[in-house]
Structure 1
Amino acid sequence: MTSWYDADGHLSEDMIADFRQTLLTWYDESGRTHLPWRIDKEPYHIWVSEIMLQQTQVETVIPYYERFLAELPRVQDLAEADEEVLLKLWSGLGYYSRVRNMQKAAQQVMADFDGQFPSTSQALQTLAGIGPYTAAAIASISFDEVVPTLDGNMFRVFARLLKIDADIAQPKTRKIFYGIILPIVDPERPGDFNQAVMDLGTSLMSAKTETFAESPFARFNLSYQDGTELTFPVKSKKVKQVQKFYAAIISEKDGLLAYQQRPKTGLLANFWTYPLVEFDSWDAIYDGVFEQFKDAKQLNITPVTHIFTHQKWQVMLVQVADNLDTWTYLSDDAYEALPQTTLQLKLQAALKENL
């Protein structure tokens, strides 16, 4: 049975060298080197891709990435862009605070770094919206800094390879993994090493995939060797998702529909949606909304559901006769020109289906 450790209990230099060579050879032959953000090492390109890839699958990101760079090819363009342009380019990706922070960071790059990205992970973390993972990705890929990119894939891969049983849901565990993985990162190709681990974690060592005997990584995988692979990584349960219940008000005046701008803070900040009224439960909508509005009519039996990280929204479409001064009435063309959220697109589809 292969071991990562020498007689003194330290990571074996020979094993590390063997693993690096095996990993990078596999990456060169089987990795996703064709992805558009892997064509070059331009930090702006790497940064845009990494922010887009947060909470979003690769296949979804590709057209957004290409459209974003076609419209805003330089960090200066992003720094100077109108917010509506940004939100329109981001529409459908969700988590809109990401793109707002990107613009803040672009403005910092222009003002504080003379238009050039900082070259170390530590300095990159001074930019808005850039945390340890994104900073490490940019620094290792664009500037060859030897630093691991600790994300879910890297946690899973090395937890299984080395049987690390620290709970990855605990913030303190990051330091444990960082200390173990840092000396394993290839000093000649740190960016490729990190991207190879990511590809490994989404393919041969994905969450539900068990290592097969012919895998080039079987001999490095201590958890595979003793049959405990799927017990790693150790992760405590997530906090239960909070449910929210809303009535989306459909009000018409002179052929125009009612909209309302969301508050400046919170989920969907500053976006325009149908007026949303919150209730304590789905059943409470039936009592409350019909008391508040004239001639209220429920349009959809099945709620429109939208998932945020820690919240699940369920929305009922309610057609009313009221016209309130706090609502803004817009034509379809006028509204289409505004940035739209995925939730609003769902509501529009449900309205079309139920009218």
Structure 2
Amino acid sequence: MSAVQHATHKSGDIAARLLAHYDVHARTLPWRAPPDQGFANPYHVWLSEIMLQQTTVAAVGAYFQKFTHIWPDFAALAAAQDADVMAAWAGLGYYARARNLLKCARVVVAEYDGRLPQTEAELLKLPGIGPYTAAAIAAIAFGQRAVVVDANVERVVSRLFAISTPLPQSKPLIRAATDSITPDGRAGDFAQAMMDLGAGICSVRAPSCPACPLAFACDAKYLGNPEVYPAKTPKAAKAQRTGNVYWIERDGHVWLVRRSDKGLLAGMRALPDDQWTARLDGHGTPPAPANWQKLSLQVSHVFTHFSLLLDIAVTSWPAGADDPEDGEWWPLKSLDKAGLPTLFRKASEAAMHAGERI
């Protein structure tokens, strides 16, 4: 029997039971409306969904509060300086999301009078909004019936119907099964209830089946092996890259550069480096002739497609000498306000606290 047939066969009370559970146990999140009490602010839903892409709820909370305090609506965000938004985003990762955030806000203001469109088809036309995000916004912010499938929902549905085809090949099966149990009413609450279920009771390891409102219908529980779902195709090993990062200090300031507007960490303030990329190791040549000292510490960081190991070289820049290259001297006392990406923040902390700094 196919996943769709399974879903049709057993869909009866799934939505009703899950929504009843959600009404009592829904997580309280700053971007949500309470269960069955109207729709959440579309700006809040959009902002949170962009921030939550490949990022945990715990990590997003403080960033969401900061953004909504500084830029409370689309008009305010659209008028923001790019550098200010990128600095506020620093540490959240996947920086293309921040660039698309600005692009999207500006399109919404310019073309939609500052209001998000309500349909999936129109939402998909906006920068940074893909099929999942469009469905989530349509359902949660506007009450549209939409099939919302994130990683948590994939896990719940894979177990509910014991879908043994490995990810990502199983995605169409999972979506079809989710579609068959998504109710016409309260689709947004249903989507959030599924997400909550996957984030809590139906966890990756040791799911709490006795507490699950859908245990009565779960094939994986019946089979006694919920943890094997969803099946996954083994991932290829990440490429390992090496490079150097350079700490240049003068009179209580450190030299920062602005990264290219294209590519990894585009447009962000950073320490100078030796042009490592996802495909190539760094060339090892410092940005300027100086008395460089290599620290014994190294900094490691994992990106989506590769891992990076950086050596750190430090130097003191002579007073009165020409600046090293295009960039700016930034006060060490306020380095936390420079909006450095996590990688360069790690390197800065290592340089400042190594005890080997010149």
If the length of structure 2 is used for normalisation, what is the TM-score? 0.86
Is there any run of 5+ residues in structure 2 with no aligned partner, and where? 34-38
Distance 2:197 2:261 in 1: 40
- Matching residue of 1:36: 30
The alignment's C-alpha RMSD in Å is 2.8
8 Å CA contact 1:304–1:347 kept in 2: the answer is yes
Instruction: Report the alpha carbon displacement of residue 256 of structure 1 after superposing the two structures with TM.
Output: 4.0
Q: Secondary structure at the match of 1:147?
A: coil
- Matching residue of 2:291: 295
Query: Which residue identity lines up with residue 298 of structure 2 in the other structure?
Result: P
Answering whether residue 316 of structure 2 is matched by residue 343 of structure 1, we say no
Instruction: Report the alpha carbon displacement of residue 261 of structure 1 after superposing the two structures with TM.
Output: 2.0
Q: Secondary structure at the match of 1:169?
A: coil
Instruction: Report the alpha carbon displacement of residue 258 of structure 1 after superposing the two structures with TM.
Output: 2.6
Distance 1:338 1:190 in 2: 41
- Matching residue of 1:353: 353
Answering whether residue 107 of structure 2 is matched by residue 81 of structure 1, we say no
Distance 2:7 2:93 in 1: 42
Residue deviations 1:286-334, cap 9 Å, x none? x9559x85533112x2311122211222121112467764253504168
Distance 2:276 2:103 in 1: 35
Of 222, 229, 233 in structure 2, the residue corresponding to residue 225 of structure 1 is 222
Matches within 5 A, 1:99-248: 99-170=98-169, 173-213=170-210, 215-248=212-245
Distance 1:331 1:162 in 2: 56
8 Å CA contact 1:150–1:174 kept in 2: the answer is no
Alignment CA distance shift 1:305-1:10 (3 Å)? closer
Q: Secondary structure at the match of 2:346?
A: helix
Query: Which residue identity lines up with residue 37 of structure 1 in the other structure?
Result: W
Query: Which residue identity lines up with residue 187 of structure 2 in the other structure?
Result: P
- Matching residue of 2:303: 308
Residue range with higher mean Cα deviation, 90-99 or 322-331: 322-331
Instruction: Report the alpha carbon displacement of residue 254 of structure 1 after superposing the two structures with TM.
Output: 5.6
Instruction: Report the alpha carbon displacement of residue 175 of structure 1 after superposing the two structures with TM.
Output: 2.7
8 Å CA contact 1:245–1:278 kept in 2: the answer is no
Query: Which residue identity lines up with residue 99 of structure 2 in the other structure?
Result: R
Q: Secondary structure at the match of 2:313?
A: strand
- Matching residue of 2:36: none
Instruction: Report the alpha carbon displacement of residue 112 of structure 1 after superposing the two structures with TM.
Output: 2.0
Query: Which residue identity lines up with residue 54 of structure 1 in the other structure?
Result: Q
Distance 1:309 1:246 in 2: 17
Alignment CA distance shift 1:352-1:154 (3 Å)? same
Alignment CA distance shift 1:253-1:5 (3 Å)? closer
Residue deviations 1:196-246, cap 9 Å, x none? 000100111111123434543221110111123222111102232222212
Distance 1:79 1:179 in 2: 37
Aligned length: 342
Query: Which residue identity lines up with residue 353 of structure 2 in the other structure?
Result: E
Query: Which residue identity lines up with residue 129 of structure 2 in the other structure?
Result: I
8 Å CA contact 1:146–1:182 kept in 2: the answer is no
Matches within 5 A, 1:243-322: 243-253=240-250, 256-278=253-275, 288=284, 293-299=289-295, 301-320=296-315
8 Å CA contact 2:3–2:163 kept in 1: the answer is no
Residue deviations 1:151-177, cap 9 Å, x none? 11111111111111222223xx43322
Instruction: Report the alpha carbon displacement of residue 349 of structure 1 after superposing the two structures with TM.
Output: 0.9
Instruction: Report the alpha carbon displacement of residue 114 of structure 1 after superposing the two structures with TM.
Output: 2.3
Instruction: Report the alpha carbon displacement of residue 51 of structure 1 after superposing the two structures with TM.
Output: 0.8
Answering whether residue 85 of structure 2 is matched by residue 90 of structure 1, we say no
Instruction: Report the alpha carbon displacement of residue 259 of structure 1 after superposing the two structures with TM.
Output: 2.5
8 Å CA contact 1:20–1:186 kept in 2: the answer is yes
Query: Which residue identity lines up with residue 167 of structure 2 in the other structure?
Result: I
Alignment CA distance shift 1:76-1:255 (3 Å)? closer
If the length of structure 1 is used for normalisation, what is the TM-score? 0.87
8 Å CA contact 2:7–2:161 kept in 1: the answer is no
Alignment CA distance shift 1:259-1:10 (3 Å)? closer
Alignment CA distance shift 1:81-1:30 (3 Å)? same
8 Å CA contact 1:4–1:12 kept in 2: the answer is no
Instruction: Report the alpha carbon displacement of residue 23 of structure 1 after superposing the two structures with TM.
Output: 0.5
Q: Secondary structure at the match of 2:339?
A: coil
Query: Which residue identity lines up with residue 87 of structure 1 in the other structure?
Result: M
Distance 2:55 2:276 in 1: 30
Q: Secondary structure at the match of 2:22?
A: helix
Distance 2:30 2:134 in 1: 19
